[in-house]
Structure 1
Amino acid sequence: MQQKVALITGANAGLGFEVSKVLVQNNFRLIMACRDTDKALLAKAQLIKLNPNALIDVFELDLASQQSIRFFAKRILEDFERIDLLINNAGVMMTPYELTEDGFELQLATNFLGHFVITGSLLKILKGRVICLSSLAHRWSEIRLKDPNFTKGYSKRAAYGQSKLACLMFALELNRRLKASGSDVIALAAHPGISNTNLFKSVPKFLKWLQPFLAQPSEEGAKPILYAALSPKIKGGEYIGPDGFKEWRGKPAKVAYSDFARNKQNARRLWDLAEQLTGFKYDFNNLYE
């Protein structure tokens, strides 16, 4: 059988690293898409210890840079004929206000717009599942269609919520469009509950003090992602998270999402906005060339 290939953004730390550990132990060929390749190579060495026969490739990817994203996608298309599992994992959380080199609010650019372009760029070689990482924070905001980059009244909490809402809505709308095109690829979203990762470095101090009491270990937070990626029971268009109190922790299960995320018209508007901002257009008509 042909070895399955998984591509994970932000694979060198936190949830991405925990997911990577399980995938290499399950004999996936792994593509680590990371901003810091030195850290990624150190993480790769740790993964090789878990499976000395693992095939692991490290590629540089800065999700805050559209130029980096397009160069990365070009290299992947040159080197690989198929991607069986795409996990759009990398992200930043509640950062100070910053515009990227492309003029996008940093959290929107990194968490959503970068993954929107990567997924579309690799559409022809996708063969299995696309997993987009959302968050409990998707309920913190709606999509600011008229000012997505928060040029007025920046709130790092609302901006993070918007970016994670966008990730969830993207997964749901992508699945609808894939299904309509006749593709066998499915898309879905997952969230880790409250997990102990390096994203906490940007949160307010009182939350950092609560981190040891609220957050579960990152290997537990990775379980909903792995369930979404590997379970034979999964269907496209689902949202997977912990089943415990307020979805903070627990076993992987299908969970609910906000009314705004459920609205298909909102999803189409978000899709149009993403294409307008990035200048990238999806092509579902030529998936079988």
Structure 2
Amino acid sequence: MVDKIAVIIGGNSGVGKKMAQDLIQKNYRIIIVGRNERKGEAVVQQLKQLNSTSQGSFLQADLSTKVAIADFAEQVADLVDHIDVLVSTMGILQETQVLTEEGYDQNFVLNYLAHF
């Protein structure tokens, strides 16, 4: 039975993906969180090849609004009763300004505010 749970926001590439690979080999249950379902599911399949006895899953989430963040928190709470490791490596870089539904610059929201 897997009792250690890691939620990795931005885990479908880079540092987050490497963290997921390392933690699944230590028998953590991994929940990858990202916007791109195709990439996220591909990482989950790679994780299952590294450790077939641990669980890996993908949760699609766009954390660019307060409502989306609250929905994400509820989804995680529905999936697990605790979190042992929370990693947030998400980030974006858009060359042109894109505003969220709440009127904030999306770069600022996803690279700074959403982490808190």
Contact 1:95 1:107 survives alignment (8 Å): no
Aligned amino acid, residue 9 of structure 1: I
8 A contact 2:20–2:30 mirrored in 1: yes
Which amino acid letter does the alignment assign opposite residue 93 of structure 2? M
Mapped to 2, the partners of 1:95 and 1:49 lie a distance apart of 36
1:69 and 1:55 mapped to 2: Cα distance?
Answer: 24
- Report the Cα offset of residue 66 of structure 1: 2.6
1:41-91 C-alpha deviation (Å, 9 max, x unpaired): 011111111111121121111122333221111111122111011111101
Matched, 1:12 2:7: no
Counterpart amino acid of 2:10?
Answer: G
Aligned residue number for residue 109 of structure 1: 109
* Cα deviation, residue 94, structure 1: 5.5
Of structures 1 and 2, the one scoring higher in RCO (CA 8 A, sep 6+) is 2
2:47 aligned partner, one-letter code: L
The residue matched to 2:84 in structure 1 has which SS?
strand
How far apart, in 1, do the equivalents of 2:84 and 2:95 lie?
32
Q: Structure 1: which 5+ runs fail to align?
A: 117-289
TM-score of the two chains, using structure 2 as the length reference: 0.90
SS in structure 2 of the partner of residue 59 of structure 1:
strand
Where does 1:99-248 land on structure 2 (aligned, <5 Å)? Answer: 99-116=99-116
SS at match of 2:17: helix
The verdict on how the C-alpha distance between 1:23 and 1:95 changes in structure 2, with shifts beyond 3 A counting, is: farther
SS in 2 for 1:62: coil
User: Aligned partner of 1:41: which letter?
Assistant: E
2:90 partner letter: A
CA contact (8 A) 1:63 1:115 kept: no
Query: Counterpart in 1 of 2:44?
Result: 44
Q: Is the contact made by 2:41 and 2:57 (CA closer than 8 Å) also made in structure 1?
A: no
- Shift in alpha-carbon separation, 1:28–1:2, aligned structure 2, 3 A: closer
Contact 2:16/2:88, CA 8 A, preserved across alignment: no
Aligned residues: 116
The ranges of structure 1 where at least 4 consecutive aligned residues each deviate by more than 6 angstroms after the TM superposition are none
Percent identical pairs in the alignment equals: 31
Deviations 1:182-223 (A, max 9, x none): xxxxxxxxxxxxxxxxxxxxxxxxxxxxxxxxxxxxxxxxxx
Structure 2: gaps spanning 5 or more residues: none
TM-score, length of structure 1 as denominator length: 0.38
Cα distance in 2 for residues equivalent to 1:95 and 1:8: 26
State the SS of the aligned residue for 1:87. Answer: strand
